[in-house]
Amino acid sequence: MRWYTGDPAYDTALTIAFAIVAITVVLALFIKTPYGRFANDKFGASLDPRLGWFLMELPSWLAFVYFYARGPNALAPFPLFVLFVWVVHYGNRGFLMPALMRVPKGQKNSFSLFVVAIGWVVTTLHGYLNGAFASTFSDRIGWEWFTAPSVVVGVLLYYAGFAMNLHSDHVLRNLRTKEEVRRGIKEYRIPRGGLFECVSNPSYFSELLFWMGFAVFTWSLAGVFILAISMANLVPRAVDTHRWYHEKFPDYPPQRKILIPFVW
């Protein structure tokens, strides 16, 4: 299949990737992704969420680095910047974030193996697509690209979203004290501060923002794929989470939007 880069393997993988997005959009209408507060036993055995997140995100890092290293432009300035962004991002998402999770001692496992298995398909695909594109198929190679308007705007969007995402994760993590974790106490609370004063799901909003920035500064359909699959997963989950907060807490702040500050 030749339509984007002219490389049959890459273009076929990209086609499959967007087909997965379409399937995910349909499935999300009927199935809540079974992890965290929406975990259930219908999808088989579960894992500790720390292990589940680590395993699910690992192919993103491995596939990207492997296929990036095989590209002819792997040592060029702009591809190296993309590599830096990716490695730092998945260093946080795949290693640091799971390690810092505060999971109550003795808590029932809450990360379905089904999620990990499906996640491996997606994370391997987008690791390959973005790694190969950055060092092989992209025309963004030299230093001159660092001043291109799309790169400047995309990088600003990316790092704004990344900073918001780190803060939102920090707020959620600290809703549970270390003493409660040690004693096995599991209690949900209303998060406060930062973007939580505007929306119920700032972690999702900021994730979509930084992937939008990534797609813009790489100027690639591989980047668009990550944004699209993230939207297909996170938008329905944001709606469910917002509804869950209102059902769980009678005093939940009524002014908070679902996902987009001041809009929706």
pLDDT, tens digit, for every residue of 114-128?
A: 788 888 999 999 999
Q: How far apart are the first and last CA of the chain?
A: 39
Average pLDDT over residues 18-40: 79
Secondary structure (DSSP) of 220-257: SHHHHHHHHHHHHHHHHHHHHHHHHHHHH-TT--TT-B
- Predicted pLDDT of residue 23: 95
pLDDT surpasses 80 at 52: yes
Q: What separation in angstroms does the CA of 111 have from each of 4, 53, 176?
A: 36, 8, 18
Inter-helix orientation angle 202-218/149-173, to 10°: 160
pLDDT surpasses 60 at 197: yes
pLDDT, tens digit, for every residue of 205-235?
A: 999 999 999 999 999 999 999 999 999 999 9
pLDDT surpasses 70 at 7: yes
pLDDT, tens digit, for every residue of 141-152?
A: 999 999 999 999
What average pLDDT does the structure give for the chain? 91
